[in-house]
Structure 1
Amino acid sequence: MNYSKYLIAASVCLLLFGCGENSDNKSQPAVSAAHIEGVVTDRDEPVTQGKILAKDAGGKTVATSDVTNDSKFAITLPASAQYPVVLEVTAGDSVLEAVVLDPMPAQLDISTMSSLVVQSARDIGGITKANMAQAAINAIRQNKKASGKSTSAGFKGDPTKQYGGWH
């Protein structure tokens, strides 16, 4: 069974919905710079080339980085960045995206799953913490239906922490 999609969804959720109270999406600048690291994949294949653009809530590019040959990236968002910040990378014909909602240093993977969550949030009404939460839930449900699974019986642990502790 391919668990990579679930791991990617869990990674997206952990970043998006960390326990910090500072991500109320009022487009306020961060107190300090945020350092983000992760991996870029497109349809479960590693992306080994590309430039990552970090665009703040105003659409301004606030930082850039390159994807390494082992599909990893690291980017530092300046303290002046207005959140949420969208990380965008072009991989072949695809544009992949992920969202950083607050300046807490984090691990974040950019993938087709994270892109699905970002687009779903836009479709719901925009990139806000509430819309990102709903979009992540929708993406997980859609992925379970597509793989023929309709339960989360395999999850072990506290259900209030299943998606990174937000509830």
Structure 2
Amino acid sequence: MKSAFKPVLGLSGVLIMSGWAMIGCDSKPQPAVVSQANQEKYDKLKTLEGLVSNDQGPAKTGLVKVLTEQGRELSRVELADSPRYSVDVPAGTLLPVILAYYPTADAGEEQRMITVAIHAAASKYDINPLSTRIAKQARALGGYTHKNWVRAAESFGTVPDNNKTTAGFRGDPTSQYGGWH
């Protein structure tokens, strides 16, 4: 028995079908765009603090600047014979902000270390070579968003050799649970 149904595609059907076919084309990941409406901000004066360390250990001299993503300086503080810093960020400041450490007042961008404040509730930010690598990777992934920060941090994560036995056990596996069982 022959079917009486004949598929007919008008111009609109052809356009819809070709639109569906094009959806899969050129589907490269697009960088994340943060709209101003979704950005967090500091509602009141916010104090950020942390430790600065470099490859040689704690940094006891230098300068910590709070910068916008565009590089405008919001505030600064000098380290005074201590690796600890505490710096105020003005109320109304949109996040993210960059916390940049410079070993000297005339140090260039290539000498700085950074970390990025992306959440208004957090106030402790250590600045070190690892935070700098994570920040650069997050920016390369599309910007300083929570998602990109987590992805960047995970890309630099390592598990120490002594932590590759039973869930979180550190030490000699022969002494775990009182020895081998």
TM-score by length of 2: 0.61
Query: What is the aligned partner in structure 1 of residue 93 from structure 2?
Result: 81
For residues 164 and 140 of structure 2, what CA distance do their matches in structure 1 show?
Answer: 25
Contact 1:57 1:82 in 2 (8 A): no
**Does residue 154 of the first structure (1) align with residue 171 of the second (2)?**
no
Amino acid at match of 2:139: R
Q: State the 1:91 CA deviation.
A: 2.8
The structure with higher relative contact order (CA 8 Å, sep 6+) is 1
1:37-88 C-alpha deviation (Å, 9 max, x unpaired): 1110001511111111111234321111112212110011111212000000
For residues 75 and 113 of structure 2, what CA distance do their matches in structure 1 show?
Answer: 16
For residues 155 and 79 of structure 1, what CA distance do their matches in structure 2 show?
Answer: 45
Q: Which runs of 5+ in 2 are unaligned?
A: 1-35, 105-109, 171-181
**Does residue 49 of the first structure (1) align with residue 61 of the second (2)?**
yes
Structure 1 pair 122–105 and aligned structure 2 pair: CA distance change class (3 A): closer
Query: What is the aligned partner in structure 1 of residue 4 from structure 2?
Result: none
Between 1:25-34 and 1:101-110, the stretch displaced more is: 25-34
Contact 1:49 1:68 in 2 (8 A): yes
Structure 1 pair 149–82 and aligned structure 2 pair: CA distance change class (3 A): farther
Q: Percentage identity across aligned positions? A: 20
Amino acid at match of 1:100: A
For residues 149 and 29 of structure 1, what CA distance do their matches in structure 2 show?
Answer: 41
1:114-162 C-alpha deviation (Å, 9 max, x unpaired): 1111011112122111100111111114xx4xx6578594379xxxxxx
Aligned Cα RMSD in Å? Answer: 2.8
Contact 2:67 2:99 in 1 (8 A): yes
**Does residue 39 of the first structure (1) align with residue 56 of the second (2)?**
no
Structure 1 pair 151–86 and aligned structure 2 pair: CA distance change class (3 A): farther
Q: State the 1:28 CA deviation.
A: 4.7
Query: What is the aligned partner in structure 2 of residue 159 from structure 1?
Result: none
For residues 136 and 82 of structure 2, what CA distance do their matches in structure 1 show?
Answer: 26
For residues 59 and 46 of structure 1, what CA distance do their matches in structure 2 show?
Answer: 25
Count of aligned residue pairs for this structure pair: 129
Partner SS for 2:152? helix
Deviating above 3 A after TM superposition, structure 1's stretches of 4 or more consecutive aligned residues are 24-29, 147-153
Contact 1:84 1:99 in 2 (8 A): yes
Amino acid at match of 2:168: G
TM-score by length of 1: 0.66
